[in-house]
Structure 1
């Protein structure tokens, strides 16, 4: 799937913390409107990788039931972390894409298609923020 710059909107960017790479990705509450969610169960959705393989990952958005009610992404998130060897201080950016033209997907013509993509930026080896997060 081709990604066009003028058809995407940045939902959130996050510098990864230890919990993000060991358990789940916490996302800003204001971003929740851009993800499928339900208070009763996690809602799964595909996320297309913008670089390298273009692989599609399945993430699930849910809201923590205890403590701070912050939305989190799970399911294949930890597989994504392992696949890319993500580390504390790396930045992930999630985008929402809207196709305004008809596109053919799996043999069907769709007028508008909403989908998500993810991009990874590596922290610089001597990044002060990376060192501070690791302590």
Structure 2
């Protein structure tokens, strides 16, 4: 992983577990190449990706992004960016269990202003691993 993450703190994804028992276990599984212990579904992957944004774990974000839509790199976060929370609004599945969607709102603050990112994301499972594909209808940042 790209930086030290406090393992015993509450997980930023909003679940009641500590980071190491929640999204941290998926980040750690990826870091050691244990694909069998990766996120078991779209919601878990989306939460782990949000947490990866919080902790600036760009290699994890790239590794869990489908190669057909993955950018070559992810820019570093803007100085002063602070993630404030995540609300999962809806989870759905399609494609016989190998496709899913997650609608969510991610809140953040930058430059003294609060913002919300509203997104309905598509995920697919390939070779047993869930991957983020893209935002359906695009992500919508809202101030």
- Shared fold per TM-score greater than 0.5: no
TM-score, normalised by the number of residues in structure 2: 0.29
TM-score, normalised by the number of residues in structure 1: 0.31
Q: Which has the higher strand share?
A: 1
Tell which structure's C-alpha radius of gyration is larger.
Answer: 1
